Structure 1
């Protein structure tokens, strides 16, 4: 897969530790919703990040990069982008892209794993496919769900879309769902036999989703996530 040189168009904070990066590739990059790019930091140092924009919107690349002080892996990428104003990447990579088959879709996102589901969601809402799609997005705190207002508005606009935010450590003014994000999905679905599930987040979460959802009838052929290539 060929390398693409990108101009860094913008870097802005979404939270205290998450940054939205907008890149302008030298030519539109072909990818599928749900795939990722590799940022080329060196010949043997290529770092994956999910593409946040939809595949039809391919004259730009949007990334959501979580980069707190303890995460050198990501902060080094941001610093390279800020200092150089350009970055080399390749993509799209990965086999966990959107594969609609008529079954209702459930998206499970933890933290910045949301960027993976955001690409899939935008692609589906842009299509004429009326298949229902539900996004469960979990964060430690309500402020971690940085596009919650936009997602709520989209759910009001599109009958086929349901948004369910889940907060692990909620303040008293939180009136939504609490706890682990995949438990919220399990509370709503006793049987996963007739749905597709797309999941992104920590590998530990993806592993538990696979174990718990397949126990409730989910076929592994209907379970998608980049983590499953490694666990």
Structure 2
């Protein structure tokens, strides 16, 4: 496996729980939008995180690390980065990356910090389609979080949807406050309510394994062709 040492540029709080980590690889690091890396704590302890950006010219890598109190798995990674100012990673890994050679209407489905995976694919598709004249295939992002406070990129996504006519952002909140007028409940159910048939769609899923498993089954029943479904979870479930 190819180990790459990275300089830790910055760790910025996106909300009280999620941190945006920006890394600069010291050697060549290649990845595709939607792949993940493993943070090497030691040889027998490598911890996976989605890369939250499509490949960039400056080669920087961003991660969204959610470390709620009691989550030492992610907390220790942040502590190590803060302490050493550098970290060794292994990547890019995974085969659920963005498919862009053949354009299709696309649904991105993310639960919680699974949004980092969806964001990388979103960036890639928007980058490819901005060079497309005329018709652009519709692109939908459904992001489900527990509360509105957990939706740390809300403003940014609303702005992106205004800027790109073929892109729609649909936020779904499990426990909304009384001001919330958007969709509520389980994020994959919101997709099922909105599409009569998923047959023409390519779907990318990131979130808890349970959610991914149920979504696969119910989306398939609603017409989704399984070869058009992507997500790292599906290698394990």
TM-score range normalised by the length of the shorter chain: over 0.9
- 1:173 aligned to 173, 179, 184, which one? 179
CA distance in 2 between partners of 1:63 and 1:206 (Å): 21
Aligned: 1:45 with 2:51:
no
Is the Cα contact below 8 Å between 1:110 and 1:138 reproduced in 2?
yes
Report the alpha carbon displacement of residue 27 of structure 1 after superposing the two structures with TM.
Answer: 3.2
- Map of 1:117 onto structure 2: 118
CA distance in 1 between partners of 2:88 and 2:137 (Å): 36
List structure 1 runs of 4+ shifted beyond 3 angstroms: none
| Structure 2, unpaired ranges of 5+ | none
CA distance in 1 between partners of 2:91 and 2:58 (Å): 12
Helix, strand or coil at the partner of 2:33: coil
Aligned: 1:134 with 2:152:
no
TM (normalized to structure 1)?
A: 0.97
Helix, strand or coil at the partner of 1:102: coil
Report the alpha carbon displacement of residue 28 of structure 1 after superposing the two structures with TM.
Answer: 4.2
- Map of 1:200 onto structure 2: 206
- Map of 2:63 onto structure 1: 63
CA distance in 2 between partners of 1:198 and 1:58 (Å): 26
Is the Cα contact below 8 Å between 1:30 and 1:58 reproduced in 2?
no
Residues 114-137 of structure 1, C-alpha deviation per residue, up to 9 Å, x if partnerless? 000000001111113522210000
Aligned residues: 231
Residues 125-169 of structure 1, C-alpha deviation per residue, up to 9 Å, x if partnerless? 111352221000000000111001000000000012110001011
Helix, strand or coil at the partner of 2:175: coil
Give the CA RMSD over aligned residues: 1.1
Aligned: 1:12 with 2:12:
yes
TM (normalized to structure 2)?
A: 0.95
Is the Cα contact below 8 Å between 1:27 and 1:59 reproduced in 2?
no
